[in-house]
Amino acid sequence: MTRAIWIVGLIGLAAMILFLATDTDDDKDEPAPPTPLPLPERKPGFTVENLQCPVCEGYGYIMEEARTGARRRICQLCAGKGGKVLRIPPGNVRCPNCQGFGRTRTAKRYVVCLRCGGRGYVKQPFQPGE
Q: Where are the alpha helices (DSSP H) in 1-130?
A: 2-29
3-state secondary structure of 102: coil
Whose Cβ is closer to Zn ion: residue 88's or residue 113's? Answer: 113
Asked if 116 and 102 touch (Cβ cutoff 8 Å), the reply is yes
Whose Cβ is closer to Zn ion: residue 10's or residue 111's? Answer: 111
Residue 86 as a binder of Zn ion (CB under 5 A): the answer is no
- What is the DSSP code (8-state) at residue 53? P
- Side chain identity at 99, as an amino acid letter? Q
Residue 78 as a binder of Zn ion (CB under 5 A): the answer is yes
Can you tell me which of 22, 90, 97, 109 binds Zn ion, judged by CB under 5 A? 97
CB of residue 124 to Zn ion, shortest distance in Å? 14
Cα(121)–Cα(106) distance, integer angstroms: 20
Residue 88 as a binder of Zn ion (CB under 5 A): the answer is no
Can you tell me which of 19, 116, 124, 125 binds Zn ion, judged by CB under 5 A? 116
